[in-house]
């Protein structure tokens, strides 16, 4: 049996484009003499559809798309994901399903059992879990079809009471096939391979695992679909961060053809590293951010971006990423120096734009800031310069970049990093403005690692930007360390608290000073109101700010 894996980039709710993409892959699979083509989870509507599923028309469009695909499933079998209606009155209205189509008919449907309801996932809000399990038969073979999370609960402390494969294995299947929408984070790919291998070795069956690829606002899917034989060898692994079609031939219980790599003894890795590793998987983070920017613009119909370029590390990295993702001709850098900006910050920002061949403009804000000071002086009543004047500069810059955004149709890319967002080191309606947070899930040390990666072949980001002390330049001689602990101290504590959910007691037991822990956690928790007003962030970590981290704004705990 020749099995084709179709790793594709879908657009949520764009049924016409998604169906055309699926039909194109089916046509290609027929040319290759495929017997069965496998697509990913909820392929017809895109994942995650969220509250679109509450619209009857959306569900009708999904089933209509399945019907169009069924008509192409004549000489080839098709396994494709989509919602299906629950015929029972009790329970949720929908299942998250995999359809087996062949001979222009629906030959069978498998429903997802394990519905994740943690971090970025909210599937139990919409779907009913499967309550019965059946083998799907195709050309004399018995297929155990599961969907994404169904294979992920093989851990020492399971969060579900029932494992669908424990039920399916009783029905004597020949092969496991998993339709997935497994999102990227910088440790997840290793855990994904480990999970597939655990299933293979436990049930002594090969697995075909088809993942989606592409970005939907904050969530990036990295692909990496794979086939693993019953011995736990990785027969083929598909590309990361790009669409691909791959074929394997399954015969007499083994796979042949298109052997890409063998895994040997693949370790069962933990999903979360114990300590903060700022240089971990920088290459994949780079790919994820490029895909996140590109898909956000393509799927939203945007073409041009603007970035407030300060001569600092954060805006430099975002500008370089945007130029790579969108082409430099579609990116505009706006330099907005004040009387507190250093000459080298301006020259560094200019050099960066020249290196990238990116258009830039310089609009000094000193006169505008002076006009604000004059207007406010009767009310400020000669009080000393403080954070009010600092934030005023940031908000003037925000108004400037948004003015160009409105005038020329640019989308503002935000340049705040995770260390700043965590501690509230940013100005609402100023440097926190934007349509998409590009590096908002990277701690400051990771931003530096990414800058070095961008410079791996030649100097794109001027070295002075990377080596000089970071500063907001909102008052004379200002440095980030005036307001925050040094980043090599701050970032590991933030990582343990945010990603690993270690509280103050655990952090102090790790050797961190109590006063330092109290100070940092107070900054994080008292600035939740700021993050709730922030733009969507491209997610690359196991725990990003946004939909996957839901903290009360007025909570007292841990402060």
**Does residue 265 carry a pLDDT above 70?**
no
Q: For residue 60, which of 91, 88, 41, 85 has the smallest C-alpha distance?
A: 85
Query: Which listed residue (45, 148, 323, 358) is catalytic?
Result: 148
Q: Are residues 229 and 155 in the same domain?
A: yes
**Does residue 261 carry a pLDDT above 80?**
no
Mean pLDDT, all residues of the chain: 94
Q: Verify whether residue 237 is a known catalytic residue.
A: no
What CATH number does residue 484 fall under?
3.40.50.620
Q: How far apart, in whole angstroms, are the C-alpha atoms of residue 525 and residue 416? A: 18
Collapsed DSSP state (helix, strand, coil) of residue 227: strand
* Domain boundary, last residue among 241, 256, 271: 256
pTM score, two decimals?
A: 0.94
Report pLDDT for 266.
Answer: 36
269, part of any domain: no
392, part of any domain: yes
Q: Verify whether residue 41 is a known catalytic residue.
A: yes
Longest dimension (CA), the chain: 87
Please give the residue that has the higher pLDDT: either 289 or 161. Answer: 289
Q: How far apart, in whole angstroms, are the C-alpha atoms of residue 322 and residue 330? A: 9
Query: Which listed residue (45, 61, 112, 149) is catalytic?
Result: 112
Q: What is the mean pLDDT of residues 504-517?
A: 96
Q: What is the mean pLDDT of residues 464-481?
A: 88
Q: How far apart, in whole angstroms, are the C-alpha atoms of residue 162 and residue 169? A: 13
**Does residue 251 carry a pLDDT above 70?**
yes
Q: How far apart, in whole angstroms, are the C-alpha atoms of residue 302 and residue 294? A: 10
User: What Å distances lie between residue 201 and 144, 193, 206, 407, CA to CA?
Assistant: 15, 12, 9, 59
CB 3 within 8 A of CB 38: yes
**Does residue 258 carry a pLDDT above 60?**
no
Q: Are residues 380 and 241 in the same domain?
A: no
Number of domains in the chain: 2
DSSP code, position 490: H
Q: Are residues 51 and 171 in the same domain?
A: yes
What band does 273 get if pLDDT is binned at 50, 70 and 90? low
Structural domain including 506 reads 282-531
**Does residue 381 carry a pLDDT above 80?**
yes
**Does residue 557 carry a pLDDT above 80?**
no
Lowest mean pLDDT among 246-260, 423-437, 460-474, 502-516: 246-260
- Classify each residue of 320-339 as buried b or exposed e, where b means 16 or more C-beta atoms within 10 Å of its C-beta: bbbbbbbebebbbbbbbbbe
Q: Are residues 287 and 188 in the same domain?
A: no
Q: Are residues 74 and 185 in the same domain?
A: yes
Q: Are residues 179 and 286 in the same domain?
A: no
Q: Are residues 247 and 289 in the same domain?
A: no
Report pLDDT for 166.
Answer: 96
536, part of any domain: no
Q: What is the mean pLDDT of residues 151-179?
A: 93
The pLDDT tens digits for 190-241 are 789 999 999 999 999 999 999 999 999 999 999 999 999 999 999 999 999 9
β-bridge mates for residue 437, sequence order: 414, 537
* Tokens representing residue 58 in the block: 């959306």
Q: What is the mean pLDDT of residues 423-450?
A: 97
Q: Are residues 241 and 332 in the same domain?
A: no
Q: What is the mean pLDDT of residues 440-461?
A: 98
What is the percent of the chain where pLDDT is above 90?
87
Q: Verify whether residue 251 is a known catalytic residue.
A: no
Q: Are residues 405 and 350 in the same domain?
A: yes
What CATH number does residue 166 fall under?
3.60.110.10
**Does residue 268 carry a pLDDT above 50?**
no
Q: How far apart, in whole angstroms, are the C-alpha atoms of residue 43 and residue 280? A: 31
Q: Are residues 380 and 508 in the same domain?
A: yes
Report pLDDT for 269.
Answer: 37
Beta strands in 198-271 (DSSP E): 207-210, 213-216, 219-222, 226-228, 234-237, 244-251, 254-256
Q: Are residues 203 and 75 in the same domain?
A: yes
Q: Are residues 47 and 157 in the same domain?
A: yes
**Does residue 540 carry a pLDDT above 50?**
yes
Query: Phi and psi dihedrals of 449, rounded to 5?
Result: -60, -40
By CB atoms closer than 10 A (0-12, 13-18, 19+), residue 402 is middle
DSSP string, 338-396: -TTS-HHHHHHHHHHHHHHT-EEEE---HHHHHHHHHHHHHHHTTPPP-HHHHHHHHHH
Q: How far apart, in whole angstroms, are the C-alpha atoms of residue 220 and residue 536? A: 12
Query: Which listed residue (41, 61, 123, 128) is catalytic?
Result: 41
**Does residue 270 carry a pLDDT above 60?**
no
Q: How far apart, in whole angstroms, are the C-alpha atoms of residue 536 and residue 134? A: 40
Q: How far apart, in whole angstroms, are the C-alpha atoms of residue 489 and residue 349? A: 28
């Amino acid at each position: 049996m020749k099995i084709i894996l179709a790793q594709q980039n879908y657009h949520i709710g764009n049924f016409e484009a998604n169906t055309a993409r699926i039909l194109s892959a089916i046509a290609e699979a027929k040319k290759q003499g495929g017997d069965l083509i496998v697509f990913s989870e909820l392929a017809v509507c895109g994942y995650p559809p969220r509250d679109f599923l509450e619209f009857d028309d959306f569900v009708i469009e999904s089933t209509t798309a399945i019907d169009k695909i069924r008509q192409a499933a004549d000489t080839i079998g098709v396994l494709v994901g989509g919602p299906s209606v629950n015929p029972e009155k009790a329970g949720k209205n929908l299942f998250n399903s995999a359809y087996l189509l062949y001979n222009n008919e629906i030959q069978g449907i498998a429903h997802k059992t394990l519905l994740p309801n943690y971090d970025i996932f909210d599937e139990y809000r919409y779907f009913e879990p499967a309550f019965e399990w059946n083998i799907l038969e195709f050309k004399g073979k018995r297929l155990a079809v599961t969907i994404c999370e169904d294979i992920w609960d093989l851990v020492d402390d399971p969060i579900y009471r029932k494992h669908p494969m424990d039920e399916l294995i009783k029905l004597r299947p020949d092969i496991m096939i998993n339709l997935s929408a497994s999102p990227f984070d910088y440790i997840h790919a290793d855990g994904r391979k480990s999970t597939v291998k655990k299933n293979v070795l436990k049930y002594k069956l090969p697995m075909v695992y088809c993942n989606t690829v592409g970005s939907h606002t904050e969530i990036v899917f990295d692909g990496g679909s794979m086939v693993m034989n019953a011995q736990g060898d990785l027969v083929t692994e598909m590309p990361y961060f790009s669409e691909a079609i791959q074929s394997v031939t399954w015969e007499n219980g083994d796979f042949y053809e298109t052997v890409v790599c063998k895994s040997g003894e693949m370790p069962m890795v933990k999903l979360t590293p114990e300590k903060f590793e700022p240089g971990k998987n920088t290459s994949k983070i780079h790919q994820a951010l490029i895909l996140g920017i590109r898909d956000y613009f393509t799927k939203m119909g945007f073409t041009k971006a603007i970035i407030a370029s300060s001569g600092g590390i954060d805006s430099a990295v975002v500008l370089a990423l945007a130029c790579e993702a969108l082409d430099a001709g579609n990116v505009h850098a706006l330099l907005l120096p004040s009387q507190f900006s250093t000459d080298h910050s301006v020259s560094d920002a200019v050099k960066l734009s020249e290196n990238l061949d990116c258009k830039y403009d310089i609009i000094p804000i000193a006169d505008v800031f002076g006009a604000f000071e004059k207007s406010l002086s009767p009310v400020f009543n000669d009080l000393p310069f403080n954070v009010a004047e600092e934030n005023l500069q940031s908000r003037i810059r925000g108004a400037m970049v948004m003015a160009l955004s409105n005038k020329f149709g640019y989308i503002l890319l935000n340049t705040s990093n995770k260390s700043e967002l965590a501690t509230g080191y940013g100005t609402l309606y100023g440097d926190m403005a934007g349509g998409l947070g590009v590096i908002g899930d990277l701690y400051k040390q990771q931003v530096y690692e990414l800058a070095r990666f961008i410079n791996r072949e030649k100097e794109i980001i001027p070295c002075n930007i990377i080596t000089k002390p970071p500063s907001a330049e909102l008052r004379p001689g200002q440095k980030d360390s005036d307001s925050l602990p040094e980043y090599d101290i701050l970032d590991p504590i933030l990582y343990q608290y945010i990603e690993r959910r270690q509280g103050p007691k655990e952090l102090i037991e790790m050797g961190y000073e109590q006063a330092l822990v109290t100070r940092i956690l107070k900054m994080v928790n008292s600035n939740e109101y700021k993050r709730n007003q922030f733009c969507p962030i491209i997610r690359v970590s196991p725990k990003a700010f946004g939909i996957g981290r839901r903290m009360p704004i007025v909570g007292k705990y841990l402060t």
